[in-house]
């Protein structure tokens, strides 16, 4: 493992077994855990995590793509401490400069006339609000989303999400229609984005009154297994949606803030300009912070009534979010993601040539996926093998995520301070893990 100048503090808390027992007794039984023997993570520093014994792990999943500038980045920590010592909470019924300053800084990162910011607490809540805005503004109800998409698990966003794993058998998704996923690897039209977009036009003609409220899409599907949309898809899709009176909503919960390397926002990789953008996760480096950004015209529809969010724009979270923006610029994290991501992608594709189990390597920047199959022609998902690889990599000191409809894709989405040496260590660990099959 690459050298790292940090000594974790001695841990004197409860053991993993004690924590697990309390969790089983007092916490949500639907929560899941990675690994046969769950890890008790007690400390983090930049791209590394430490368990109760002090063992160091390379974090290649970033708290589910949430830690952007690094675990306990000192400048984020200091921003949180400074604001916490002054004022923790007031809500937006009073003025506070931290919230307004942060909104101004975030709006400055947006293209076009996307200049009005609504702060909320999570990606699910942000997508809820975007759906509400689209319906109010267009005075239409129907929403179009993609199969294989994940947009949250609130009662409304569960309907937007298109994975049975994340759906309960309750009424959901009223007015939400799912179209063909423009997946270059598994889709029927390969990498021809325009052909996939035709399904939107067919759906609007057959399943709606001819008018829609909006269209949701991640540019790279996160939970779906780091699936990058086929080239040319979003320009064609946006044109069809707008011709039907709808708004185009970009879910940047995972792809935003330079993670793709090539662009600051994921939607820019397809040269489109959305009407509404939702963001969360890396926006606050782990703090409960999310946002919806739109145009003044669209934002005005919520002024028809009062809108209030108790914790949206909390001063401490705003201070942390503002610090994240400054760090991303100062440390040139977007360019760093491009450099390290390109290197990592090349090395992963070399492994694909070596192992038949790797069916597809995809993504860009530090948002990559490796899909495992037992048969490259039939593309049969290798779910059990994926779990075995994750276990072996964990034993070697590398933590990765998994996703995809069949749970057969490794999700490699580390903190954006991940280095070239880290990338090499990850690939070497994956190589060793695959060599033992």
Q: What is the spatial distance between Cα 260 and Cα 264, in angstroms, rounded to a whole number?
A: 7
- How do the domains of the chain map onto residue ranges? 16-62+333-435, 74-331
- pLDDT single digits (tens) 283-303: 999 999 999 999 999 999 999
Q: Please give the full DSSP string across 17-52, using - where no structure is assigned.
A: HHHHHHHHHHS-TT---SSSS---EEEEEBTEEEET
Contact at 8 Å (CB) between 67 and 285?
A: yes
pLDDT value at position 172?
87
pLDDT value at position 377?
96
pLDDT value at position 14?
96
A 10 A CB-CB count for 179 gives: 24
Contact at 8 Å (CB) between 76 and 88?
A: no
Q: What is the spatial distance between Cα 342 and Cα 348, in angstroms, rounded to a whole number?
A: 10
Q: What is the spatial distance between Cα 325 and Cα 321, in angstroms, rounded to a whole number?
A: 7
Q: What is the spatial distance between Cα 236 and Cα 326, in angstroms, rounded to a whole number?
A: 35
Say whether pLDDT at 133 is over 90: yes
Token pair listed for 415? 């903190």
Measured at the CA of 114, the angle between CA 129 and CA 200, to 5 degrees, comes to: 65
- pLDDT single digits (tens) 193-243: 999 999 999 999 999 999 999 999 999 999 999 999 999 999 999 999 999
Contact at 8 Å (CB) between 145 and 177?
A: yes
pLDDT value at position 437?
84
Token pair listed for 157? 């966003």
**Residue in the block written with tokens 């899909």:** 371
pLDDT value at position 87?
97
- pLDDT single digits (tens) 243-258: 999 999 999 999 999 9
Token pair listed for 93? 């019924």
Q: Residue 307: pLDDT band by 50, 70, 90 thresholds?
A: confident
Average of per-residue pLDDT across 381-392: 97
Closest CA to 368 of 397, 335, 409: 409
- pLDDT single digits (tens) 155-197: 899 999 999 989 999 988 899 999 999 999 999 999 999 999 9
Q: Residue 372: pLDDT band by 50, 70, 90 thresholds?
A: very high
| CATH placement of domain 16-62+333-435 | 3.90.1150.10
pLDDT value at position 313?
87
Average of per-residue pLDDT across 44-54: 98
Q: For residue 392, what is the enclosing H or E element?
A: helix 383-396
Contact at 8 Å (CB) between 258 and 416?
A: yes
Say whether pLDDT at 80 is over 90: yes
Contact at 8 Å (CB) between 286 and 66?
A: yes
Q: Residue 306: pLDDT band by 50, 70, 90 thresholds?
A: confident
pLDDT value at position 246?
98
Give me the chain's average pLDDT, please.
97
Q: Residue 30: pLDDT band by 50, 70, 90 thresholds?
A: confident
Token pair listed for 155? 């009662």
The model carries a pTM of 0.96
Q: What is the spatial distance between Cα 227 and Cα 149, in angstroms, rounded to a whole number?
A: 10
pLDDT value at position 394?
98
Token pair listed for 238? 């946006």
Q: Residue 436: pLDDT band by 50, 70, 90 thresholds?
A: confident
| CB proximity list for 10: less than 8 A, separation 6 or greater | 54
Task: Provide the CATH topology of domain 74-331.
Answer: 3.40.640
- pLDDT single digits (tens) 397-425: 999 999 999 999 999 999 999 999 999 99
Q: For residue 367, what is the enclosing H or E element?
A: strand 367-375
């Amino acid at each position: 493992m690459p050298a790292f100048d940090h000594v974790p503090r001695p841990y004197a808390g409860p053991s993993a077994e004690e924590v697990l027992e309390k969790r089983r007794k007092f916490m949500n039984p639907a929560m899941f855990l990675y690994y046969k023997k769950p890890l008790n993570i007690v400390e983090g520093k930049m791209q590394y995590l430490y368990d109760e014994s002090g063992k160091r792990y390379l974090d290649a999943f970033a708290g589910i793509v949430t830690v952007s500038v690094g675990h306990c980045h000192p400048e984020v920590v200091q921003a949180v401490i400074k604001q916490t010592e002054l004022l923790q909470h007031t809500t937006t019924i009073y003025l506070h400069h931290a919230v307004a300053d942060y909104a101004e800084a975030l709006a400055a990162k947006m293209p076009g006339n996307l200049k009005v910011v609504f702060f909320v607490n999570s990606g699910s809540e942000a997508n809820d609000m975007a759906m509400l805005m689209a319906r109010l503004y267009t005075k239409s109800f129907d929403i179009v989303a993609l199969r294989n998409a994940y947009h949250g698990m609130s009662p409304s966003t569960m309907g937007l999400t298109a994975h049975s794993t994340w759906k309960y058998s309750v009424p959901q998704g009223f007015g939400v229609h799912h179209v063909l996923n423009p997946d270059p690897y598994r889709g029927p039209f390969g990498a021809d984005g325009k052909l996939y977009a035709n399904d939107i036009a067919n759906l609007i003609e057959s399943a709606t009154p001819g008018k829609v409220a909006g269209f949701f899409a991640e540019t790279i599907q996160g939970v779906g297994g780091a699936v990058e949309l086929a080239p040319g898809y979003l320009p064609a899709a946006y044109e069809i949606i707008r011709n039907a009176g709808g708004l185009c909503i970009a879910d940047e919960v995972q792809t935003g803030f330079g993670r793709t390397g090539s662009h600051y926002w994921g939607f820019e990789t397809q040269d489109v300009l959305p009407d509404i953008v939702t963001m969360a996760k890396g926006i606050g480096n782990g703090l409960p912070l999310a946002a919806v950004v739109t145009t003044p015209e669209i934002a005005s529809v919520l002024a028809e009534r009062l809108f209030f969010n108790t914790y949206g724009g909390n001063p401490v979270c705003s201070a942390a979010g503002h610090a994240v923006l400054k760090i991303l610029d100062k440390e040139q994290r977007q360019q760093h993601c491009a450099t390290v991501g390109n290197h990592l992608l090349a090395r992963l594709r070399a492994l694909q040539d070596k192992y038949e189990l790797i069916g597809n390597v995809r993504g860009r920047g530090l948002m990559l996926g490796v899909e495992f199959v037992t048969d490259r022609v039939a593309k049969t998902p290798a779910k059990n093998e994926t779990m075995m690889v994750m276990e072996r990599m964990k034993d070697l000191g590398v933590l990765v995520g998994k996703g995809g409809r069949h749970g057969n894709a490794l999700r490699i989405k580390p903190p954006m301070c991940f280095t070239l040496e880290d990338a090499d260590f990850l690939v070497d660990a994956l190589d060793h893990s695959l060599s033992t099959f």
